[in-house]
Amino acid sequence: MIDMSMGPVHISAGPSSNPSSMSLSIILEVLEKGNRVIWMTRNIPDQRKIADILGHLNDSVLKRMIVIEFRDNLSEKFEDIKGILSNLKKNDLLIIEDWCENFGRAKSKDINLMEKLAESFDSFRIIITSESYEDASGENKGFQGFMFRGGKTIEDSFRTVWISKINNQYQKILISDGENELVAESTRNGYKLIN
């Protein structure tokens, strides 16, 4: 669904685009291909959503996933798992959901941590997610008038992929990755591409 072959990815999610379902859909794809996942999330989403998307996987597949809820202690939790990260392989995935808070400016310590992460660990796939915010300048900058969090530092370290709700199209989102645009539909089992 998201091309992870070109380096670290930052998914910037517009309002009502359901980024946690996108994260779980990506996790499912990686696990089904026999790879490992470390999923770090600020808050673990609703258990029903996790069960809907990952519940059909057997224990041997789920054992290849580590889930870490970091709340407000991302840097502390990141230090705790550095040893695990060094054992990840090319097709394994580290996904950090809500790497920064979804209000105000991203904290410089979180931005710096993401920059170091992208620079230090290039032997496996990395995705970070955050909610985009409206451009307050009135100039309609960014993607459809939305901006991504983290500014130039994140822009230089990660390829930004936008996900946004499609107006008047129930449960559908637009995935914009540079020149490529895809449409995905939210199902009970996560996002599925429909074009």
Q: How far apart are CA 118 and CA 55, in angstroms?
A: 31
State residue 1's pLDDT score.
84
Looking at the 3D structure of the chain, how many domains does it have?
1
**Which residue type does 82 have?**
K
State residue 142's pLDDT score.
61
Distances (CA, A) of 116 to 75, 110, 153: 11, 10, 10
2 falls within a domain: no
Phi then psi dihedrals of residue 153, to 5 deg: -60, -45
Residue 140 belongs to a domain with what CATH number? 3.40.50.300
State residue 145's pLDDT score.
62
4 falls within a domain: no
State residue 143's pLDDT score.
67
Q: How far apart are CA 70 and CA 40, in angstroms?
A: 7
54 falls within a domain: yes
Q: Are 87 and 119 in contact (CB under 8 A)?
A: no
State residue 104's pLDDT score.
77
Q: How far apart are CA 17 and CA 13, in angstroms?
A: 6
State residue 167's pLDDT score.
85
1 falls within a domain: no
pLDDT along the chain (195 residues), means of 10: 92 92 96 97 93 96 97 90 92 96 89 94 94 69 74 95 89 93 92 88
State residue 137's pLDDT score.
58
State residue 16's pLDDT score.
87
75 falls within a domain: yes
3 falls within a domain: no
**Which residue type does 114 have?**
M
Q: Are 183 and 193 in contact (CB under 8 A)?
A: yes
47 falls within a domain: yes
89 falls within a domain: yes
Parent domain of 54: 9-193
Tokens of 157: 């370290």
Q: Is 154 left (phi over 0), alpha (psi -120 to 50) or beta?
A: alpha
- Please report which helix (H) or strand (E) contains residue 94, including its range: strand 93-97
